[in-house]
Amino acid sequence: MFSIGLAEIVLIVEDVPRAARFYREVVGLTPATEADDEWAWFWTGESYSSPRIALHRGPLLFEEHSPHPPGQRWGRIHYAFTVPRGKLAAALEHLRTHGIEVYGPRRFEWMKATAYYFYDPDGNLLEFWSPDAS
Protein backbone atom coordinates (compact mmCIF):
# COMPACT_ATOMS: atom_id res chain seq x y z
CA MET A 1 0.00 0.00 0.00
CA PHE A 2 1.10 3.57 -0.54
CA SER A 3 0.62 6.67 1.57
CA ILE A 4 -1.44 9.64 0.41
CA GLY A 5 -2.06 13.07 1.89
CA LEU A 6 -4.52 15.90 1.48
CA ALA A 7 -3.46 18.46 -1.13
CA GLU A 8 -6.44 20.81 -1.37
CA ILE A 9 -10.11 21.44 -0.75
CA VAL A 10 -12.13 23.63 -3.13
CA LEU A 11 -15.20 25.38 -1.74
CA ILE A 12 -17.86 26.68 -4.11
CA VAL A 13 -18.86 30.17 -2.99
CA GLU A 14 -21.20 32.87 -4.26
CA ASP A 15 -18.77 35.81 -3.93
CA VAL A 16 -15.05 35.00 -4.01
CA PRO A 17 -13.76 38.41 -2.81
CA ARG A 18 -16.20 38.38 0.14
CA ALA A 19 -15.31 34.80 1.06
CA ALA A 20 -11.59 35.54 0.68
CA ARG A 21 -11.85 38.46 3.13
CA PHE A 22 -13.58 36.14 5.63
CA TYR A 23 -10.94 33.41 5.37
CA ARG A 24 -8.09 35.94 5.55
CA GLU A 25 -9.39 38.36 8.19
CA VAL A 26 -11.65 36.17 10.34
CA VAL A 27 -10.28 32.63 10.05
CA GLY A 28 -6.69 33.83 9.72
CA LEU A 29 -5.50 31.86 6.69
CA THR A 30 -2.53 33.05 4.63
CA PRO A 31 -3.37 33.86 1.00
CA ALA A 32 -1.40 31.88 -1.57
CA THR A 33 -2.70 34.12 -4.39
CA GLU A 34 -4.57 37.36 -4.82
CA ALA A 35 -8.32 36.77 -4.95
CA ASP A 36 -10.16 37.53 -8.16
CA ASP A 37 -13.83 37.05 -9.08
CA GLU A 38 -13.37 33.31 -9.74
CA TRP A 39 -10.57 31.98 -7.49
CA ALA A 40 -8.74 32.56 -4.22
CA TRP A 41 -6.16 30.16 -2.75
CA PHE A 42 -5.00 29.88 0.88
CA TRP A 43 -2.37 27.90 2.78
CA THR A 44 -3.69 26.00 5.80
CA GLY A 45 -0.39 25.65 7.62
CA GLU A 46 2.96 27.27 8.11
CA SER A 47 4.72 25.69 5.14
CA TYR A 48 4.10 25.66 1.42
CA SER A 49 3.70 21.89 1.59
CA SER A 50 0.58 22.32 3.75
CA PRO A 51 -2.81 21.54 2.22
CA ARG A 52 -4.54 24.43 0.47
CA ILE A 53 -8.09 25.71 0.50
CA ALA A 54 -9.46 27.29 -2.65
CA LEU A 55 -12.56 29.42 -3.00
CA HIS A 56 -14.21 29.20 -6.41
CA ARG A 57 -17.22 30.63 -8.19
CA GLY A 58 -18.41 28.67 -11.19
CA PRO A 59 -18.17 25.09 -12.42
CA LEU A 60 -15.32 22.74 -11.65
CA LEU A 61 -13.49 20.44 -14.03
CA PHE A 62 -15.56 17.42 -15.07
CA GLU A 63 -18.61 18.65 -13.14
CA GLU A 64 -20.78 17.62 -16.09
CA HIS A 65 -19.98 13.97 -15.26
CA SER A 66 -21.42 14.16 -11.74
CA PRO A 67 -24.18 11.64 -11.02
CA HIS A 68 -26.14 14.43 -9.29
CA PRO A 69 -28.38 16.91 -11.15
CA PRO A 70 -27.26 20.48 -11.87
CA GLY A 71 -27.68 22.71 -8.85
CA GLN A 72 -27.21 19.77 -6.49
CA ARG A 73 -23.69 18.63 -7.38
CA TRP A 74 -21.92 20.46 -4.58
CA GLY A 75 -23.17 21.13 -1.11
CA ARG A 76 -22.19 22.83 2.07
CA ILE A 77 -19.50 21.03 3.98
CA HIS A 78 -17.88 20.84 7.37
CA TYR A 79 -14.16 20.89 8.04
CA ALA A 80 -11.89 21.70 10.96
CA PHE A 81 -8.78 23.77 11.56
CA THR A 82 -6.34 22.69 14.26
CA VAL A 83 -5.77 25.42 16.85
CA PRO A 84 -3.18 24.85 19.61
CA ARG A 85 -4.80 24.97 23.06
CA GLY A 86 -2.69 27.97 24.10
CA LYS A 87 -4.08 29.99 21.17
CA LEU A 88 -7.69 28.79 21.32
CA ALA A 89 -9.08 31.57 23.54
CA ALA A 90 -7.53 34.25 21.32
CA ALA A 91 -8.85 32.55 18.17
CA LEU A 92 -12.39 32.44 19.59
CA GLU A 93 -12.21 36.07 20.71
CA HIS A 94 -11.02 37.02 17.23
CA LEU A 95 -14.11 35.37 15.70
CA ARG A 96 -16.43 37.11 18.15
CA THR A 97 -14.89 40.54 17.50
CA HIS A 98 -15.81 40.01 13.85
CA GLY A 99 -19.43 39.34 14.82
CA ILE A 100 -19.22 35.60 14.24
CA GLU A 101 -21.51 33.47 16.39
CA VAL A 102 -19.52 30.65 17.99
CA TYR A 103 -21.10 27.37 19.14
CA GLY A 104 -19.58 25.13 21.76
CA PRO A 105 -17.51 23.98 23.41
CA ARG A 106 -17.99 20.39 22.40
CA ARG A 107 -15.74 17.96 24.24
CA PHE A 108 -14.56 14.78 22.48
CA GLU A 109 -13.05 12.45 25.04
CA TRP A 110 -12.26 9.80 22.43
CA MET A 111 -10.04 12.34 20.60
CA LYS A 112 -8.91 14.13 23.75
CA ALA A 113 -9.92 17.43 22.17
CA THR A 114 -12.31 20.36 22.49
CA ALA A 115 -14.00 21.98 19.51
CA TYR A 116 -15.92 25.17 18.71
CA TYR A 117 -18.02 25.69 15.58
CA PHE A 118 -19.00 28.63 13.36
CA TYR A 119 -20.30 29.30 9.85
CA ASP A 120 -18.68 31.04 6.91
CA PRO A 121 -20.66 33.49 4.71
CA ASP A 122 -21.70 30.64 2.39
CA GLY A 123 -23.08 28.41 5.15
CA ASN A 124 -20.16 25.98 5.47
CA LEU A 125 -19.68 24.75 9.04
CA LEU A 126 -16.14 25.40 10.25
CA GLU A 127 -14.52 24.11 13.39
CA PHE A 128 -11.61 25.18 15.53
CA TRP A 129 -10.41 21.81 16.86
CA SER A 130 -7.99 21.93 19.76
CA PRO A 131 -6.26 18.78 21.05
CA ASP A 132 -5.37 18.57 24.73
CA ALA A 133 -1.83 19.60 25.58
CA SER A 134 0.46 16.60 25.97
CATH of the domain spanning 78-134: 3.10.180.10
Instruction: With beta carbons less than 8 A apart as the criterion, state whether 95 and 80 touch.
Output: no
Quick check: helix, strand or coil at residue 126? Answer: strand
Nearest to 27 by CA among 5, 7, 6, 11: 11
Answer whether 1-71 and 78-134 agree in fold: yes
The predicted model scores a pTM of 0.85
Spatial neighbors of 72 by CB under 8 A, at least 6 apart, are none
Q: Can the peptide bond before residue 105 be classed as cis, meaning omega within 30 degrees of 0? A: yes
Domain boundaries defined on the chain: 1-71, 78-134
Cβ-in-10-Å burial (0-12, 13-18, 19+) of 1 comes to exposed
Q: In angstroms, rounded to a whole number, what is the distance separating the alpha carbons of residues 95 and 90?
A: 9
pLDDT per residue, tens digit, the chain (134 aa), is 667 778 889 999 999 999 999 999 999 999 999 999 999 999 998 877 889 999 999 888 788 887 888 877 776 788 899 999 999 999 999 999 999 999 999 999 999 999 999 999 988 889 999 999 87
CATH 3.10.180.10 fits 1-71, yes or no: yes
